[in-house]
């Protein structure tokens, strides 16, 4: 063996290592690919060798080649081999390679589960660390499910180094396996207060990442984060928290109010720009959430804007960029405060940095108003001319169009100006946005009726000068504009001054060089124009001219008939034939114009893009219903001879049905009309007057005095500028007029004249130049006004939208390898169990090949297993386990989760925290604790309608060792708070807080939050170990109960080889695996590093369940410290109460009544004196500790139900008055009932 | 979340690539090329943020980069990361490399990509920032090296570094 190692390392000396490979590649610059392919061949040889060092070296080289773009997935199996090396150096190489090239589709990943599990529980923290790092990159849903529990255990590892990694990786686990979120969340939350700043930071990181996607589920953590924010000094953590608050404030405006002060303090005090910036950002988010009605926050806005101005003016381009970015957020709600910095922003447009210019453009978008739109666009047009790069120029172009068209052309007062701008933009060379300009032209021309005349004139000029646009084939992006131009000219041809000229322009031979879809529009609209021309000529009875026009078309259209484009060809030949026919008629002097125009009659209205989706499903239409009932399967055809009339009957029915329907329909239509009339959200069919600008006395303002040929031909001043001047004049004039009026008014009422004095013009003062009717887009009748149709169903984070405040249900546990004594191990599986990929140690190659085969088998098998039920899979996987001691033993490595606090408690905590007047940061922490206490007074008036929740929620929870946890928490907390908390708990007679649960309905707000409860009770304890346990029955098996035991290592040493044994009684027996003697102990399937706790489950069979029982047992274990290891043992007594045989079972009140009526049940009763707790607490306790569910609750009286594992019904009627509680109980097994009642009594005597 | 960390030189040659989401090797190369194209055409003293390329999430993601001598360090992050924070993180990363390699230069990265990966793994894990404290990162990296050395001495002949 040793010799082999030496030989291997000597071999290695002749191999290439990574450095040699890199050097080689650098030396073969000309034939790199060839060199690398020889290297890959060498690597393949190396991978075939047994020496793990050689393999690791090869894998390391592959990692490098992967970076260069070579696919190395063929070596995935070798990577797994290297990962499973016992040496850290190689393991790390393996994991690095895996993290670089494994992904969900890599099939060998499923072979790694056990290896990773082993590494995770390795005593060497660096092995664990490397495994976690690697896993974080290639975790799959399967791995996440199988390892979630192990990782969760690591979250409480003694080493902060491991803790922080385990906490971070949980995020990935949640993403892949969302079911793990709820069980793991309590512990994650706990880590927010970890003593190690690194762990704390990791927890903050994970929760922020979760909360960003589904903020509402994390609102209840706000107080905790607030505390962290005011106490932490780690900028990284602070930034994360502040960002998180930014996401939370929109959901809870009260939170915002609370945040403003500490945030402004931070803004003033911090020197870190990154922190300052995030603070400003969050303050902005807060201000947005508060938006209106908070006049006293103008100071905060001022502060933000002022700080941002400093950032923007900074010489550091990064700060400038971010400043602009943040500024654009303020803009949305407080445009005024940003607009005062217009100078600064316009200045940024000249910046040499493109990203900054783009940001400034974004800002301008929000800064425009009716007043400054023309001015800003003019500036931008100048930049368009100056801009060199096409990308930036295109960006400018889109921005100009965005700015102008935003919110339904809100800021445009003069559409002629806008059309001219669009026409000017067509002169841009090489823009990609021709279609954008075109769609704007179409949109404006269609929706602004008043502008059609002007638009048509402009478009006609464009068509006439089409050669300017299409002269260069490179610039064909812009020729899209011709599409719009042709359509507008055709559709609104009645506005054309000289339709003949335009028609001629549209039929030029040059047109044939345009793209097909444009030609098609040309042809179609030529026909429209033709109709107009005909009408004109016939009106003037100029038949000669009319015939000439027809001839023109007949001459020119054949060119299009030959087009390669189908659409063009089809339309052209169709129209050509039409015109030929018309010509014939014309020659017979028939008047045709009217009929030809009729072809194109009717107006097109714009349709909203979402219109189709919004068409409501007609009443009575059920697409899921059968049209013809399918033949029922149970009925065979020859069962009954069919009656002859049977076929006819349904038809008859149907026709009658429709008759009814018609009447019904008419009635419904009436009703619907009524409804529509009353519904303010209903968009009426008539062109809405939504955007009609009321401009009294504008008609006489001269607008259209411009020479129409100006736009394209005059090279000097762009024509849109003229509008600017005109507009100014117009405004001046209007202003003057208004002043006159105002003066008159003033004269009339001198008293309060000053108020209306015209300072700078306000928005509303500017009247548009046109009586503009912006036609709104059409929507189908009955369209629903909802807008919730844009959620991405594929978002992986959607799965994580989970309510975290709901108590954990029993079914929500992390999957663990479960012990099933019933499952027999087949010999084949037995063999397999020894052949799983761990042993990469030196063995003969023959052996190895065999092994490989086995592994292949394993892989196949596990694929099959995937399809099987999960439970089965877990069992089998466990059997495949290679470590013998693990394979044989029964275990359930369940790390219990402390359930989250109840919703109502959280809600009221949060409410209280939020509603209290802003408290100084130091006091904030205290507020959380007494909040629930404060609610006590009001809770005596517990709302009657608030019933304890569904029985599912009342099921016993796996809670972590409560005392242990509490201790930990307490240590961390301040002395003061501790006292308060104690008092608080005392008040509720609660000593055993920690693991918490509730049976409350989420809706209950006014009720007092429930004190935390735990079902785990102490089993035994010594200086090394503490055991707590809980017993649960199981629906499926009437003779089995599961005992969950949490083992907690209290010492500084490693605990291993734990063996759990119980002296069986006649009635109750520990289930041992096949082949084990009746007195053999069970090995606990895990080891415990110092300070760690973990849970194991043991199955017991019981015969009679009517009596409680105690079983004696022993736990033996080895304590391993650095120097020595000693055997220790701990005796315990397992107490099987009758309660533990009960299972929470829901029962409906009618079934419950029947049960009581049946008279099979025997009664018994119990009185409890001096119970000083709210009724719902009492019920919650019975539900929780004794596995009952509430059937019905009326005021201070409730009926409850539970069932034993052997099917005994137990019914309770609980009444309370003053401090006395009386319980009347009925059960079909009197001794069971007696014992249960005794246990209930005990529960309440304890508190 | 950090989506990817890329290091390449002035000619676009990758020196380290770490993707926290799966892409095929080809796409990865395209992303590197695209990113290089975006980053390299920018002047020296303009801002260090830009919108991500189309291949890696587009405008949803940001590229945050720093240029040191011959190397570009590019982090592709989404909106949950603070821009300035990441910029600081890049600085920490480079300073850590400088400490670990003693005056780091491109050659160190070329020949010791694995070590760079290991150092990076102590800072960023699965796309989330693990540690920002430089001394902590260095401590862990050194502890790793120590373990590696101890194993080398026991198990194999020391090998001359060529």
How does pLDDT run across A1154-1208, given as a tens digit for each residue?
Answer: 888 777 778 888 888 877 787 878 888 888 788 888 888 877 888 888 888 888 8
pLDDT score for B160: 44
Closest alpha carbon to A1137 in A1225, A1068, A1208: A1068
List the 196-235 stretch of A: residues with Cβ below 8 A of B. 198, 201-202, 205-206, 208-209, 212, 235
* Chain A touched by B54 (CB under 8 Å): no
List the 84-103 stretch of B: residues with Cβ below 8 A of A. 84-85, 87-88
- Please state which of the ranges A242-256, A883-897, A973-987, A1149-1163 shows the lowest mean pLDDT: A883-897
Closest alpha carbon to A697 in A738, A727, A732: A738
As a whole number, mean pLDDT of residues A983-1002 equals: 42
What tens digit of pLDDT does each residue of A818-856 get?
Answer: 544 444 444 444 444 444 444 444 444 444 445 555 555
Q: In the 3-class helix/strand/coil scheme, how is A1155-1191 assigned residue by residue?
A: HHHCCCCEEEEEEECCCCCCHHHHHHHHHHHHCCEEE
What tens digit of pLDDT does each residue of A205-242 get?
Answer: 999 889 888 888 888 888 888 888 888 888 888 998 99
Q: Per the structure block, which two tokens stand in for A1115?
A: 């736990």
As a whole number, mean pLDDT of residues A703-722 equals: 44
Residue A1087 pLDDT > 50: yes
Closest alpha carbon to A329 in A310, A349, A305: A305
Residue A568 pLDDT > 80: yes
pLDDT score for A882: 41
For chain B, the 3-state helix, strand and coil shares in percent, each to the nearest 5, are: 50, 20, 30
* Cα–Cα distance, A372 to A383 (Å, whole number): 17
* Cα–Cα distance, B59 to B61 (Å, whole number): 5
What tens digit of pLDDT does each residue of A315-369 get?
Answer: 888 888 888 888 888 887 777 788 888 888 888 888 888 778 888 888 888 788 8
Closest alpha carbon to A145 in A813, A876, A815, A808: A815
Question: A243: which residues sit within 8 A by CB, 6+ positions away?
Answer: A208, A212, A278, A281, A282, B80, B82
pLDDT score for A6: 53
- Please state which of the ranges A10-19, A541-550, A610-619 shows the lowest mean pLDDT: A10-19
Residue A864 pLDDT > 60: no
Residue A902 pLDDT > 90: no
* Cα–Cα distance, A882 to A1190 (Å, whole number): 47
At residue A379 the predicted structure's pLDDT band, cuts being 50, 70 and 90, is confident
As a whole number, mean pLDDT of residues A645-661 equals: 46
What tens digit of pLDDT does each residue of B104-145 get?
Answer: 889 999 999 999 999 999 999 999 999 988 999 999 999 988
Mean pLDDT of chain A: 74
Contact B132 A60 (CB under 8 A): no
* Chain A touched by B34 (CB under 8 Å): no
* Chain A touched by B38 (CB under 8 Å): no
Answering whether pTM is above 0.80, one says no
> How many C-beta atoms lie closer than 10 Å to residue A209's C-beta?
22
Q: ipTM value of the model?
A: 0.94
> How many C-beta atoms lie closer than 10 Å to residue A899's C-beta?
27
Q: Per the structure block, which two tokens stand in for A1193?
A: 């609750």
- Please state which of the ranges A171-180, A594-603, A816-825, B49-58 shows the lowest mean pLDDT: A816-825
As a whole number, mean pLDDT of residues B64-87 equals: 91
Contact A126 B144 (CB under 8 A): yes
As a whole number, mean pLDDT of residues A373-383 equals: 86
Query: The dihedral of CA A536, A542, A548, A554: what is its sign?
Result: positive
Which residue has better confidence, A894 or A10? Answer: A10
* Cα–Cα distance, A1244 to A1220 (Å, whole number): 12
Q: Which of A13, A164, A172 faces B126 most closely, judged by CB atoms?
A: A172
Q: In the 3-class helix/strand/coil scheme, how is A401-441 assigned residue by residue?
A: HHHHHHHHHCCCCCHHHHHHHHHHHCCCCCCCCHHHHHHHH
What tens digit of pLDDT does each residue of A284-294 get?
Answer: 888 877 765 55
Which residue has better confidence, A287 or B101? Answer: B101
Contact B151 A87 (CB under 8 A): yes
List the 352-381 stretch of A: residues with Cβ below 8 A of B. 352-356
pLDDT score for A678: 64
Contact A186, A178 (CB under 8 A): no
Residue A951 pLDDT > 60: no
Closest alpha carbon to B42 in A68, A69, A398, A357: A357
* Cα–Cα distance, A1098 to A1029 (Å, whole number): 10
In 3-state terms, what secondary structure has residue A153? helix
Burial A666-676 (b: 16+ CB within 10 A, else e): eeeeeeeeeee
Closest alpha carbon to B91 in B119, B66, B112, B124: B66
Contact A9 B157 (CB under 8 A): yes
pLDDT score for A859: 53
pLDDT score for B7: 94
With a pLDDT cut of 90, the percent of chain A lying above it is: 10
* Cα–Cα distance, A217 to A207 (Å, whole number): 11
Q: Which residues of A touch B18 (CB under 8 A)?
A: 100
pLDDT score for B158: 46
Closest alpha carbon to A559 in A501, A504, A500, A511: A511
- Please state which of the ranges A18-22, A448-452, A477-481, A912-916 shows the lowest mean pLDDT: A912-916
pLDDT score for A463: 86
What tens digit of pLDDT does each residue of A130-157 get?
Answer: 999 999 999 999 999 999 999 998 999 9
* Cα–Cα distance, B80 to B78 (Å, whole number): 6
- Best probe of the A interface among B87, B126, B144, by most A CBs < 10 A, is B126
Which residue has better confidence, A333 or A23? Answer: A23
pLDDT score for A801: 76
pLDDT score for A333: 76
List the 825-864 stretch of A: residues with Cβ below 8 A of B. none
Which residue has better confidence, A1144 or A653? Answer: A1144
With a pLDDT cut of 70, the percent of chain A lying above it is: 68
At residue B14 the predicted structure's pLDDT band, cuts being 50, 70 and 90, is very high
pLDDT score for A652: 46
Strands, E assignment, A737-813: none
Which residue has better confidence, A1008 or A119? Answer: A119
């Amino acid at each position: 063996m040793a010799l082999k190692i030496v030989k291997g390392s000597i071999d290695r000396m002749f191999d290439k290592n990574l450095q040699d490979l890199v050097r080689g590649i650098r030396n073969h610059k000309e034939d790199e690919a060839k060199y690398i392919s020889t290297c890959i061949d060498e690597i393949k040889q190396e991978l075939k060798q047994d020496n793990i060092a050689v393999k690791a070296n090869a894998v390391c080289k592959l990692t490098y080649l992967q970076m260069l773009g070579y696919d190395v997935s063929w070596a995935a199996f070798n990577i797994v081999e290297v990962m499973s090396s016992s040496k850290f150096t190689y393991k790390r190489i393996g994991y690095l390679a895996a993290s670089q090239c494994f992904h969900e589709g890599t099939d060998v990943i499923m072979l790694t589960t056990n290896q990773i599990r082993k590494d995770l529980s390795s005593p060497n923290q660096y092995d664990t660390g490397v495994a976690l790092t690697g896993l974080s990159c290639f975790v799959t849903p399967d791995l996440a499910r199988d390892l979630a529990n192990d990782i969760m255990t690591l979250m409480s590892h003694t080493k902060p180094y491991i803790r922080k990694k385990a906490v971070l990786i949980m995020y990935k686990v949640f993403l892949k396996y969302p079911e793990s979120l709820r069980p793991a969340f309590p512990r994650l939350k706990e880590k927010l207060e970890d003593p190690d700043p690194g762990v704390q930071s990791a927890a903050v990181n994970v929760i922020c990442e979760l909360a960003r996607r589904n903020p509402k589920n994390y609102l209840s953590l706000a107080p905790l984060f607030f505390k962290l924010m005011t106490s932490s000094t780690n900028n990284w953590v602070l930034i994360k928290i502040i960002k998180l608050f930014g996401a939370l404030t929109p959901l809870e405006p009260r939170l915002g109010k609370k945040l403003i002060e500490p945030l402004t303090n931070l803004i003033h005090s911090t020197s870190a720009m990154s922190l300052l910036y995030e603070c400003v950002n969050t303050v902005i988010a807060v201000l947005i959430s508060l938006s209106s009605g908070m006049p006293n926050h103008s100071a905060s806005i001022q502060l933000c804007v002022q700080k941002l101005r400093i950032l923007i003016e900074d010489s550091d381009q990064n700060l400038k960029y971010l400043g602009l970015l943040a500024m654009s957020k303020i803009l949305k709600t407080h445009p005024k405060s940003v607009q005062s910095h217009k100078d600064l922003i316009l200045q940024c447009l000249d910046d040499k940095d493109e990203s900054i210019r783009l940001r400034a453009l974004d800002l301008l978008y929000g800064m425009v108003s009716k007043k400054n739109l023309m001015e800003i666009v003019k500036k931008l047009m100048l930049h368009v001319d100056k801009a060199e790069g096409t990308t930036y120029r295109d960006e400018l172009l889109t921005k100009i169009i965005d700015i102008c068209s935003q919110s339904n052309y809100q800021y445009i007062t003069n559409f002629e100006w806008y059309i001219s701008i669009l026409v000017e933009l067509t002169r841009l060379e090489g823009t990609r946005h021709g279609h954008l300009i075109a769609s704007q032209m179409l949109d404006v021309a269609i929706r602004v009726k008043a502008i059609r005349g002007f638009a048509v004139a402009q478009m006609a000029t464009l068509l006439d000068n089409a050669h300017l646009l299409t002269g260069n084939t490179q610039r064909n992006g812009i020729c899209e504009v011709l599409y719009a131009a042709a359509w507008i000219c055709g559709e609104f041809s009645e506005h054309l001054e000289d339709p003949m000229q335009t028609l001629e322009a549209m039929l030029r031979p040059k047109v044939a060089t345009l793209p097909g879809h444009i030609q098609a529009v040309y042809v179609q609209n030529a026909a429209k124009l033709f109709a107009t021309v005909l009408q004109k000529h016939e009106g003037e009875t100029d038949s000669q001219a009319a015939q000439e026009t027809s001839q023109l078309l007949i001459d020119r259209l054949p060119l299009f008939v030959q087009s390669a484009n189908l659409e063009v060809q089809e339309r052209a030949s169709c129209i050509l034939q039409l015109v030929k026919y018309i010509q014939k008629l014309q020659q017979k002097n028939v008047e045709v114009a009217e009929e030809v125009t009729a072809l194109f009659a009717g107006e097109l209205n714009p349709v909203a893009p979402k219109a189709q989706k919004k068409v409501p499903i007609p009443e009575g239409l059920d697409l899921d219903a059968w049209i013809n009932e399918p033949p029922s399967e149970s009925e065979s055809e020859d069962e009954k001879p069919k009656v002859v009339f049977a076929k006819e009957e349904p038809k008859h029915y149907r026709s009658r049905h429709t008759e009814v329907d018609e009447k019904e329909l008419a009635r419904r239509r009436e009703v619907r009309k009524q409804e529509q009339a009353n519904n303010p959200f209903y968009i009426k069919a008539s062109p809405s007057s939504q955007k009609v600008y009321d401009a009294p006395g504008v008609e006489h303002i001269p607008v259209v005095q411009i020479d129409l040929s100006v736009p394209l031909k005059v090279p000097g001043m762009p024509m849109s500028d003229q509008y600017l001047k005109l507009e100014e004049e117009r405004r001046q004039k209007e202003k003057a007029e208004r002043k006159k009026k105002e003066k008159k008014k003033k004269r009339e009422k001198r008293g309060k004249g000053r108020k209306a004095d015209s300072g700078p013009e306000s928005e509303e003062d500017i009247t548009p130049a046109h009586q503009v009717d912006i036609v709104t887009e059409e929507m189908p009748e009955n369209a629903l006004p909802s807008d919730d149709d844009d959620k991405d169903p594929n978002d992986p984070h959607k799965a994580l939208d989970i309510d975290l405040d709901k108590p954990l249900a029993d079914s929500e546990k992390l999957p663990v390898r479960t012990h099933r004594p019933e499952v027999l191990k087949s010999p084949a599986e037995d063999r397999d169990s020894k052949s799983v990929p761990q042993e990469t140690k030196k063995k003969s190659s023959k052996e190895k090949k065999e092994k490989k085969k086995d592994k292949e088998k394993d892989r196949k098998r596990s694929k099959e297993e995937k399809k099987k039920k999960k439970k089965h899979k877990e069992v089998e996987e466990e059997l495949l386990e290679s470590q013998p001691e693990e394979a044989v033993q029964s275990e359930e490595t369940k790390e219990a989760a402390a359930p989250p606090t109840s919703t109502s408690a959280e809600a009221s905590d949060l409410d209280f925290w939020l509603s209290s007047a802003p408290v100084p940061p130091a006091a904030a922490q205290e507020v959380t604790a007494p909040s629930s206490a404060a609610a006590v007074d009001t809770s005596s008036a517990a709302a009657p309608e608030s019933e304890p929740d569904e029985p599912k929620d009342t099921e016993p929870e796996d809670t972590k060792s409560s005392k242990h946890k509490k201790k930990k928490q307490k240590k961390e907390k301040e002395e003061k708070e501790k006292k308060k908390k104690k008092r608080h708990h005392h008040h509720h007679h609660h000593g055993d807080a920690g693991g918490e649960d509730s049976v409350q309905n989420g809706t209950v707000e006014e009720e007092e939050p429930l004190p935390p409860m735990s079902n785990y009770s102490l089993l035994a304890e010594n200086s090394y170990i503490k055991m707590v346990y809980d017993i649960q029955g199981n629906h499926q098996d009437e003779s089995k109960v599961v005992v969950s035991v949490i083992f907690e290592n209290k010492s500084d040493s490693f605990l291993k080889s734990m063996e759990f044994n119980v002296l069986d009684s006649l009635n109750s027996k520990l289930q041992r695996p096949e082949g084990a003697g009746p007195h053999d102990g069970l090995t606990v399937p895990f080891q415990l590093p110092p300070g760690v706790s973990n849970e194991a489950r043991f199955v017991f069979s019981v015969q009679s369940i009517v009596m409680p029982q105690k079983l004696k047992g022993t736990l033996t274990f080895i304590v391993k410290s650095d120097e020595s290891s000693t055997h220790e043992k701990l005796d315990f007594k397992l107490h099987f109460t009758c309660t533990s045989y009960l299972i929470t079972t829901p029962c409906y009140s009618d079934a419950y009544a029947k049960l009581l009526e049946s008279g099979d049940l025997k009664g018994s009763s119990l009185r409890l004196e001096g119970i000083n707790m709210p009724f719902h607490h009492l019920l919650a306790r019975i539900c929780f500790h004794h596995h009952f569910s509430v059937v019905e609750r009326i005021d201070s009286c409730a009926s409850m139900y539970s069932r034993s594992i052997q099917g005994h019904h137990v019914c309770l009627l609980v009444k309370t008055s003053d401090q006395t509680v009386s319980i009347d109980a009925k059960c079909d097994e009197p001794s069971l009932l007696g014992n249960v009642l005794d246990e209930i009594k005990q529960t309440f005597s304890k508190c | 979340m950090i989506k990817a960390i890329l290091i390449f030189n002035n000619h676009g040659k990758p020196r380290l690539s770490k993707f926290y989401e799966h892409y095929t090797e080809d796409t990865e190369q395209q992303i590197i090329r695209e990113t290089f194209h975006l980053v390299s055409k920018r002047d020296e003293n303009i801002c260090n943020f830009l919108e991500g390329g189309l291949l890696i999430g587009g405008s949803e993601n940001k590229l945050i980069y720093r240029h040191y001598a011959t190397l570009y360090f590019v982090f592709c992050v989404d909106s949950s990361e603070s821009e300035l924070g990441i910029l600081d993180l890049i600085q920490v990363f480079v300073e850590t490399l400088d400490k670990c390699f003693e005056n780091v230069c491109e050659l160190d990265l070329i020949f010791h990509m694995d070590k760079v990966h290991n150092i990076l793994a102590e800072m960023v894990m699965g796309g989330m920032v693990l540690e920002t404290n430089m001394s902590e990162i260095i401590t862990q990296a050194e502890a790793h090296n120590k373990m590696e050395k101890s194993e080398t001495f026991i198990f194999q002949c020391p090998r001359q570094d060529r």
